[in-house]
Structure 1
Amino acid sequence: MEDEPNSTGTLRSLDINRIFDLLGDQSFPVDTDEICSAYDDVEVTYSGGGSDPLARVLRTSGSQTYQTMDDLRLSILNGVQRNAVGRPRYSDRDPPVVADEYDHWRSF
């Protein structure tokens, strides 16, 4: 995917975890337009391939005011492509088995 660089002529491509590091010093509350303006040179890269400008990722949720870093982080995670967060509908944990907890109470 090709994106136009900002006025300095460069894009900062960062994986999603580095985006959160970059935003760590952000003061709150802050709105979508302010974040998009301040970080217009940032592109989110996905481990599965591809990338999106941070502004595009944030604008999938519309214009918002973020009260905390957690609000902003959630908006970013909700706005990234599916391949950014691993395999859809996959968990590396076994589902709980209801009977396991009480099997030791039964007498046969």
Structure 2
Amino acid sequence: MRLNGTEDQLATHEYPATSGELIDAYGDARIELQNGSETIGAVLGRLGSETFHSADDVWMTLRGGVGHEAVGRRFYSDRDAPAVGEDGPEQVSF
């Protein structure tokens, strides 16, 4: 996930700041995700009204609030055993 330079602007923003203030200031900035992009305004708008006390608070909220496009293949795990009724590779014990 990349904020394309917006992290510097968030770091110098005056806190505390509400999500509405941040959306007004940076809402159009794009967050680059693994499978696409999303605006800061879309992420913060989805999470409702919050007050942030630092840029780190905003960064952590953005990281937790992005959509599924931020991860690789959805529902994929090379660690889980096949579900009941599924055929899969035999488990190997090391």
TM-score by length of 2: 0.63
| 1:40-67 deviation line (CA, Å, top 9, x unaligned) | 3311121x22111111111222110101
CA distance in 1, matches of 2:8, 2:70: 17
Query: Aligned partners of 1:23 and 1:39: how far apart in 2?
Result: 8
CA distance 1:27–1:50, shift in 2 (3 Å):
same
Q: Distance in 1 between matches of 2:2 and 2:9?
A: 11
- Equivalent residue runs for 1:78-89 within 5 Å: 78-85=64-71
- Give the 5 Å matches for 1:50-61: 50-61=36-47
CA contact (8 A) 2:4 2:31 kept: no
Where does structure 2 lack aligned partners over 5 or more consecutive residues?
A: 78-94
Q: Radius of gyration: which is bigger?
A: 1
1:1-108 equivalence runs, <5 A: 15-16=2-3, 18-46=5-33, 48-85=34-71
Counterpart of 1:97 in structure 2 is: none
Runs (4 or more) in structure 1 with deviation over 3 Å come to 16-19, 85-90
Deviates more, 1:26-35 or 1:54-63: 54-63
Deviation at 1:87, TM superposition (A): 6.5
Aligned-residue sequence identity (percent) comes to 30
Q: Within 2, Cα distance between the matches of 1:26 and 1:85?
A: 28
Q: Which moved more, 1:53-62 or 1:19-28?
A: 19-28
CA 29–86 in structure 1, closer or farther in 2 if over 3 Å, else same: farther
Residue identity matched to 2:56: D
TM-score relative to the length of structure 1:
0.56
